[in-house]
Amino acid sequence: MVRLGQGGAGHTMKRALRVLLLGLGVASCATTERPTATAVQKEADVELQRGAAVYYASKFQGRRTASGVRLDNSEMVAAHPSLPFGCIVRVTNLRGGSSVEVTIVDRGPSPQGQRQGIIIDVSRAAARELGFLDHGRTPVEVAIPNRCRASSAD
């Protein structure tokens, strides 16, 4: 071990070394704490709904949705009875396990569909990714971020 002298330069080097080590120690503690807190927070900020999903018929392509945008069945969009427009939710097919994120742009399903357990209408592109385009309907789980639930419906 190198011994620093009692002079001013040695004392300054010791102090600089202590400050550097202290800074590294604080920085390493901060980086190990953050990812864990964020991951736990993300899971706690989601509400899950289970039911069935259906998809838009081709005849609705290009028609205006309740939000005012025209439906594009090639985009990842959906209709929900109460979530605010622009909210992004994750839809998971409970039969196959595939999932997609869709943006809410419309109102639906119809009251009759809701009575049949349908909780969301998705675009044809989303239905294709979820693997139920040939079946017309599938059981799903919809993960809704709490920030979407806190907003009022349009």
What does DSSP assign to residue 64? B
Question: pLDDT per residue over 53-88, tens digit each?
Answer: 999 999 999 999 999 999 999 999 999 999 999 999
Cα–Cα distance between 88 and 104 in angstroms, integer? 6
- Express each pLDDT in 123-134 by its tens digit: 999 999 999 999
- Exposure of 16 by Cβ count < 10 A (0-12 exposed, 13-18 middle, 19+ buried)? exposed
Q: At 88, is the secondary structure helix, strand, or coil?
A: strand
The rounded distance, in Å, linking the Cα atoms of 47 and 84 is 15
Each domain of the chain, given as residue ranges in start order, spans 1-44, 46-150
The pLDDT of residue 43 is above 80 = no
Q: What CATH number should be reported for the domain whose range is 46-150?
A: 2.40.40.10
Q: Would the pTM count as exceeding 0.85?
A: no
Q: How far apart are the C-alpha atoms of 7 and 148, rounded to whole Å? A: 64
What pLDDT sits at residue 44?
A: 64
